[in-house]
Structure 1
Amino acid sequence: MTPLKTVYDSEPDNSLEKSMSLVASAIADTSRVSILCALMDGRAWTATELSVVADIAASTTSGHLTRLLSGGLVICLTQGRHRYYSLAGHHIAGLLENLMGVSMHPLISPQSRTPVSLRYARTCYDHLAGELAVKIYDFMQQEKWIEADGTALTPVGKTHFEKLGAVLNSRPRRKSCCPCLDWSERRFHLGGDAGSALMTLFLQKGWITRTQGYREVHLTGSGKSAMYRLFGLNLT
């Protein structure tokens, strides 16, 4: 795949306020929000697939994608004659998660507005989020798998990850481990390279399954058994 460069203004603008307003305006459209939320599953999508998700015409989708590209929110990859779009990085996924949390009215319970399946288990770009992920994070803190501030795996945690078969990047380009605020639970789940490694393991083992076009993930029967065996979670 060959990355296409994001289009920026020819004359650089050093105004932080203007840069922030440009990003905000790029997001300020329900169709573009739908596109960004679809890309939160961490996979690359074609413009046609995104037009179906956003329920808009293909020509309209092209315009929205151009706006998101120019705002630095998404990137475009080419493979042969096809173009695929994905979020520009983990920082954009974090921005969207935080925006979702802010958008929830503080006087209304998130459970009354959020679908149960989405609240229970979903993707947060390349790691697991939702109630299930929060419970796993709590277990890891109790068992001293992660440091108290969540910024690193302890030696005990690294040993357990190795036993699980969760492959950690020896030279990650981002944080090796970090707490990620869960917008529906308002508590932390595991992010960073460690969170990504754990979700990859769950998928490889068939403990969770994904559906194209949706952020929800489904816990399988073997997954429930694994959650109990490894993290003490009784999910029957």
Structure 2
Amino acid sequence: SSSRKHGVTRRAMEGWLRKRGAKIRPWRRRYFKFYDGHMRYFEDEKATIMKGEASISLGDYILPVPDDAYGQPNCFELVCANRKYILASDDELTCKKWVQVTRDYISERLSFYLYHNDLTCICSIKDAVEVSDGKKSWVAYNISCDNDAIHWTVQRRYREFLDLNKKLHSKFGSVLKSLCIHAFPSYTIGKASGLEIKRRRAAFEAYLHKMLTIPATATCIDLLTFLGVARNQSNASA
């Protein structure tokens, strides 16, 4: 559901989700309430004392993940500034609703911010590192970003690049096609070699550079969210 205040939609949703604990701790069933950028969870729907809370800000990222990523169906990740939340719903439709309501909130808040701020960004991918959650490991790319006198780093993995690419092509497919931008690093089954990771790092860096030189994509909410532009700009000016 949603309501409007001062021209901004206030989105809300609540229901049961499974939450994965840190590292190898088991999944816990919790009752979640999302309202106006705050994802709070409780022992059950009648509880009044929170078990925890995730405050969603500009630049945070939500992403559905494959069923085999965490051994649970209908999973999604909420990546905040200081923590990643791994959640799962009881069915696919509910999972999509949670992802959509959160994305809508981030998108609208970022649109409002961009309307009042002139944001530019240059970036490079310095290195790739292996990240582990205690059960699985994957390669993540450290993206170094600069906006005037502000510098920050965001870490993204292949799946997040792929999700960004799909979003940009769904919105600007004709523009990207006219510029002959088709290539995207292919997915590797199994562990990628060191040489392949270096090639992929260079390809991702070239991809981001190109996206930031095209006016339509350079100001796209999806790209700016991916790079954490608004979050770090707003933190620096706070």
TM-score category, normalised to shorter length: under 0.3
Query: Larger % of helix: which?
Result: 1
TM-score (norm: length of structure 2) = 0.27
Q: TM-score, normalised by structure 1?
A: 0.27
Could you say which structure has the higher strand fraction?
2
